[in-house]
Amino acid sequence: MTTAAAGISLQRDGAILVARLDNPPVNALAAPVRAALADALAQAQRDPAIRALLVTGSGRMFSGGADISEFDKPMQPPQLPELIDRFEDSDLLTVAAINGTAMGGALELSMGCHYRIASEAASMALPEVKIGILPGAGGTQRMPRLIGNAAALDLIVSGKPVVAAKALALGLVDELVPADGFEGAALDYVRRLLEAGGAPRRTRERDVDNDDALFGAALAKLPDTPANFAARRCVLSVQAASLPFREGQAREAALFLECARSPTSAALIHAFFAERQAGKVDRLDPAAPVLPIRDVAVLGAGTMGIGIALSLADAGLEVGLFDSAAESLQRALAHIEKHYLGLAARGRFDEVEARARIARITGGDDARLARVDLVIEAVFEDMALKKKVFADLDARCRPDAILASNTSTLDVDEIASATSSSHRVLGLHFFSPANIMRLLEIVRGRQTSDSVLVSAITLAKRLHKVGVVCGVCDGFIGNRMLEGYGRESGVLLMEGASPAQIDAAITGFGFAMGPFAMSDLAGIDVGYRVRQQRGVDPADEKIYAVGDRLYALGRYGQKTGAGFYRYEVGNRKPIPDPEVDAIVEEEANRLGIVRRAISDEEIVERCVLPLINEAANILDEGIAMRASDIDLVWLYGYGFPAWRGGPMHYANTLGTAGVLEAISRHARDDRYWRPAPLLERLAAEGKPFA
């Protein structure tokens, strides 16, 4: 007999009632699902013939946990802690059968069950810290009781997943069975429990010792900053597991509320929902087919081309790597082999898998180019060269193959004009290193077809990247905004700040690196060549004067041991250099700039406000579809502090009127500090960026 309730299905199997979570897409424990589970438990308890309740999930998910969309609404009963208490209190056996992924509240539910069985392919995590909260349904109290303080701290503070085999070794689950035939094996497990007279085991009744040294050391590793707000409270909540359970549960609830009400959590939850929205494009033809992409050509075997090839191979795609220089191609293939064998040596996967990934990337030839589904061009950033490449691709590739440019700034429509089939051309702007960075700017040209666009969005998901769709303009979203950030850091340097002060102010704001340390990492020579390619307005000389002097001296950054900083051999730590300070003074004197003391607050405002102002223009022009897409670009591509939610969310915390006032206060000329019309409108209307 099978019956269905809201979000679950019920099936009777002798003395066992099976409750199968069925709330697509991730079987979230939303209010109707919690109510249905409570009813299922009550039904089982009323029937004397039922001796056990088995909870599992439909599809490949056990459950993704709590429904995050409920967080800003009044919570409907039964709340998750109450539901879990009912499962733990039950006199009939409650068993969690984790058939796939168990996240957050779902793992907390399983820990409240008396027994836990998992598929060998299952994975589990308490990832709440990643959205600025902590497990608030007893997770910080039950996990230490099951696996000990140290292991619980590691999983809860990091939010990282644990695979089934490790979960078994830790004691998080009791038994593993193959994924094939999982539910039958789970039922057999429960029958064995019943035949053996298995009794309820209540996790809350276990004891766990306090370990002040362990928790003190954990807090010492987490400076008391907004970025660590939730992580520190995770530590304190796990420490409370040494208290009697109800006292610890109350402590967990209080700490959860602190987190949930914090600006940090609001920013991280904003980013969570922004990522869900990414790639959703209005007015796309719903019938536009997703083109199959199995075989990809990557043109250019430099650093970017190698990273793109690795990203594709990691996703199981076949890759042909092309380069006009045979030596460059062979070096790239050797680097790829070393990369994968190195990962295998470090235990990321076994050598068989490493060899399989190596085999997916081969040197390309004419026959390969003629049959691939997608070409990604990653040659030097030169328009004439790119147009020549695309004209050649147009003639040599299949007529339905997608042609993509990895350009970071150039006009995709002009590149497409070199072909006879502009509808199949778009930009796929990867960020370096391409196999690590999660952002992918998907640049939609005027003629890019809906089918090509949805295929690119689908590819981004397959690559586990955050694909943000944008229109064509110089620099797209990220690099167009970056120009103002870099410009002001250059001006601040000439007006009185040092590279170290500017970088310290920016890292104090939350960026991982400041603009000058980043320039040294990327290469001062790279920035110089880009400026020469694009041309520099003489009026902007003061912005680039120091960088140009450093280039002339051969100080290219980390690669040469000296740039805006100097570097010791084998050490990437930037060391302030008096020689650079002297160059700054010389250039300021030459240009008639009187240097002055500049506060860290002014540095942050003058570097960050141009980001917001230019983003408002990008939004107003329709280059970006939504403000949250701009946030994603800067969170995942440029290291904007996640706990601030991105530049647009940060602007909303300041208020658009406050942003406008600050921009007006720093304005020196209309070229660079003219307030965006959208910002002026929103400030006048008292509205945020939406």
The list of the chain residues with pLDDT below 70 reads 1-5
Q: How far is CA 66 from each of CA 101, 397, 428, 484, rounded to the nearest angstrom?
A: 13, 47, 34, 40
Structure-block tokens of residue 301: 């075997």
Classify 358 as helix, strand or coil: helix
pLDDT digits (tens, 9 = 90+) for 466-522: 999 999 999 999 999 998 999 999 999 999 999 999 999 999 999 989 999 999 988
Q: Which residues are catalytic?
A: 108, 128
**Which pLDDT score is estimated for 74?**
78
**Which pLDDT score is estimated for 518?**
92
What would the CATH number be for the domain defined by 2-260? 3.90.226.10
Beta strands in 339-495 (DSSP E): 361-363, 374-377, 402-405, 425-430, 439-443, 466-470
Residues facing residue 10 across a β-bridge: 3, 19
Spatial CB neighbours of 363, under 8 Å, sequence gap ≥ 6: 320, 321, 322, 329, 330, 333
Q: Against a cut of 0.85, is the pTM above it?
A: yes
Rounded to whole angstroms, the Cα distance separating 228 from 238 reads 15
User: In sequence order, what DSSP letters do the residues of 307-353 get, joined into one string?
Assistant: HHHHHHHHTT-EEEEE-SSHHHHHHHHHHHHHHHHHHHHTTSS-HHH
CATH fold match for the domains 2-260 and 295-470: no
Architecture of domain 478-590: Orthogonal Bundle (1.10)
- Delimit the domains of the chain by residue range: 2-260, 295-470, 478-590, 600-685
**Which pLDDT score is estimated for 1?**
46
Architecture of domain 295-470: 3-Layer(aba) Sandwich (3.40)
CATH ID of 600-685, from 2.40.40.20, 1.10.1040.50, 1.20.1250.20, 1.10.10.10: 1.10.1040.50
Give the type of residue at 203: T
